[in-house]
Chains A and B, each alone.
Chain A
Amino acid sequence: MIKLLYILKKEFLLIVRDVHAVTILFVMPAVFILIMTLAMKDLFELHSSVVIDILTVNHDAGKRPVALLKAMEEHSTFRFHLIAKDTATESVKEQMLSRDYKFALIIKKNFSTFVNKKGKGKDENPLELLVNPTVPVQTQLVLKSTLDGELSKLRWDAFIGRIDKLLAFAGIDKKDLKANKLSPIDVQYVYKGGQYFKMPSAVQQSVPAWIVFSMFFIVIPISNTFISERDQGTFMRLKSMNVSSPYAAAPLLLLEIR
């Protein structure tokens, strides 16, 4: 046991007195943590809060587009950044790429007409969504579904407005039929064993990895010690000393392997 303590003391002193080893030991894992955190930041941010920025052009002068954007922003997930209404589609695409937007929404001139539409004729789609191909499909679907949902609500409310006289005649309060702004879906989280836990951040997620990784940086200086022990003839001395302790014999075993 005393032998082991002296061996550990020796290894500890050799590492702490080696400036380069200590630098590697502490700086490299710190660099590793930083790199991994930055690399995984986007992935782990999805577990806490998500904001999707959307470059927006509104070619329709009516009130309906404003109502759509307002309803969308009430979800607190979407932020619309309006640019000049006469911006051409090609210019929107350029701005989207140069300003690093993942999405651009073009509200066409016929948007209000589409919402208030009475006839059955096939018209041009009132919305055009431009998508950066690097965006995950799930995110695309989230935005598209929400737009579909809000557009349907607008159309329903418009329909109710058109038949308000009929509803009044039938004794129905049109307020009861208006689309509900709040989602009718309750979300509940289910935790294993009933115990609440918070999703880890990018830093926390990397902890096991950088503990394993830091082991390499402990092994590197110890390996350097072994190599210098061999070069300085210390192993020769140890081999001639009848060192019986398995702890002291471990470096000798490594010498044999090398």
Chain B
Amino acid sequence: MPAPLDDKLERDLSVGTAWLVVLATIARAEEAIHGYEIARQLAAEAPEGLSFKQGTLYPMLRTMESEGLLRSELVPSSEGPARKCFTLTADGRRVLVAWHDTWRRTNKWVNRVLGGVDELR
């Protein structure tokens, strides 16, 4: 099997799940959360070897904000300049709930299908 295909699934999955995990990270934060903290939490929990380039988070946050999924505010920080912090809008919460549901269904379906190929390992 050609080597580049080995990580195709990983690439595709990280593309497909990026928005979902970013929205979820913002949703579970108790207060407005800034970009660096989102990146830190995502990186800390990312599975071994999964490439998540933290810098791609910022353009994503910006697009989400202009789509109305996020609201941002400048929160003064004792450690430096005011930081741009994000919370979900009502629209953002609605989208997250819908996506969560989609994820659960997809996950269940994939697991069911994969259950049949266990003996290949």
Task: Check if A and B associate.
Answer: no
